[in-house]
Structure 1
Amino acid sequence: MSVTLPNSSDVGIAPELSAFQQRILAILAEDARYGLAIKRELEAYSGSEVNHGQLYPNLDELVEMGLVEKSELDKRTNEYALTEAGHDAITTQLSWIFSRFITSDNRAEEITALVDDIR
């Protein structure tokens, strides 16, 4: 399978995202989630508590940027989903990281092995 990666001159919004926001996008790349589920995944990754004052303003900013779509599950619960622009931001960030990390065939093989392990 071949994937066309963005070139370095077409980085879009990806460089403006914080690491926290990038993690949110990565979580939503798997499947749409409600806020508490996102919070739990972030906490599991970081090993520390994520407070509402950190999570929801970042989700709102990602929605405003057009990277995440917010919908109402019920009167009290919102669901968040990755948009195509959010997908593109993740791909752009990965492309930039890979372009710096892969400096030899051995490193390329490391990335290939990581991808194979996840499949």
Structure 2
Amino acid sequence: MDDLTGFQRDLLYVIAGIEQPSGQEVKGEVERYYESEINHGRLYPNLDTLVNKELVEKGQLDRRTNYYAITDAGKDAIQDRQEWEHQYVNM
């Protein structure tokens, strides 16, 4: 996960927390956190990066809507990251 941007990590966390969200659902969650609009040109290339790195899988809900789901590799990456963070931030 060390090669992901902060934005990509945020996308991964959102996808891990929602069962098979659509791109629009991911966008809405991230926009609430960032308190600003996320445009498609930023969102979808970063989702594709997560898919290409096999941290997320992409499937079709219908002809126009894709869903995203965390993979085992994505879960492992999040766990590794949390363990790494925990050694520095133990509250």
TM-score by length of 1: 0.73
Q: Deviations over 1:2-33 (max 9, x none)?
A: xxxxxxxxxxxx11111111111111112210
1:23 maps to a residue whose letter is D
RMSD over aligned CA atoms reads: 0.8
Identity %: 46
2:42 alignment counterpart = 54
Q: Taking structure 2 as the reference length, what is the TM-score of the superposition?
A: 0.95
Quick one: distance in 1 between partners of 2:16 and 2:48? 17
Q: Which residue of 1 aligns with 2:72?
A: 84
Deviation by residue 1:13-62 (Cα, 9 ceiling, x = unmatched): x1111111111111111221000010000000010110000000000010
Report the equivalent of 1:19.
6
Task: Return 5+ residue gaps in structure 1 as ranges.
Answer: 1-13, 108-119
1:43-90: per-residue Cα shift (whole Å, max 9, x none)?
000101100000000000100000000001100010000000011111
Q: Which amino acid aligns with 1:16?
A: D
Corresponding pairs, count? 90
Secondary structure at 2:2's aligned position in 1? helix
What is the rounded CA distance, in whole Å, between the counterparts of 1:17 and 1:94 in structure 2?
Answer: 14
2:86 maps to amino acid:
F
Secondary structure of 2:26's counterpart equals: helix
Q: Does the alignment pair 1:40 with 2:28?
A: yes
After TM superposition, which residue ranges in structure 1, 4 or more long, deviate above 4 angstroms?
none
Where 1:36 maps in the other structure, the secondary structure is helix
